[in-house]
Structure 1
């Protein structure tokens, strides 16, 4: 299991409605068959360094690396002027309480 965390810095235009109702369904459609198993979106409180975080759950980092990114990443200018930062990693421990 692996995650790709996408964070968007504060101080930029961000259309949350488009992001949640158009972009994230695009993410699911394009990457669901490539190894994406789910995602979570967090909106941070105002005044912090970041405004939105998406945690994409993948079967493996290899699946993420093989996924076509053109359509999904190319959609970013449709909802924000913020530069996306991507952080990738493999699960070392996960606990659900």
Structure 2
């Protein structure tokens, strides 16, 4: 399983309502068939370096990279200006161990 973390820096306009109700459903509808398994959104308190973080779980890093470079990427990435002027930071990783508490 791969984890993709997208963090949006503070100090930029960000339409959270649009992001949650339009963009993330678009991401789900566009990429579920390409290996996206789930997503989670976290908002940070004022004064943090980042205002919003999306954590996307994929079946593999290869699936994400293929989707991010494929024809559907234009739909997802092209929607970013609809909710923010921030340039997001993106981190990719592969899960090595899962713990159940």
Question: Which interval holds the TM-score relative to the shorter structure?
Answer: over 0.9
Name segments (4+ residues, structure 1) moved above 6 Å: none
Partner in structure 2 of residue 63 of structure 1 = 63
With normalisation by structure 1, the TM-score equals 0.97
Unaligned runs of 5+ in 1: none
Shift of 1:94: 2.0
Partner in structure 2 of residue 10 of structure 1 = 10
Shift of 1:92: 1.3
SS at match of 1:29: helix
SS at match of 1:39: strand
CA RMSD across the alignment:
0.7
SS at match of 1:54: strand
Between the two proteins, the alignment pairs up a number of residues equal to 97
Q: Please give the per-residue CA displacement for 1:36-58, whole angstroms capped at 9, x wherever unaligned.
A: 00000000111010000000000
With normalisation by structure 2, the TM-score equals 0.93
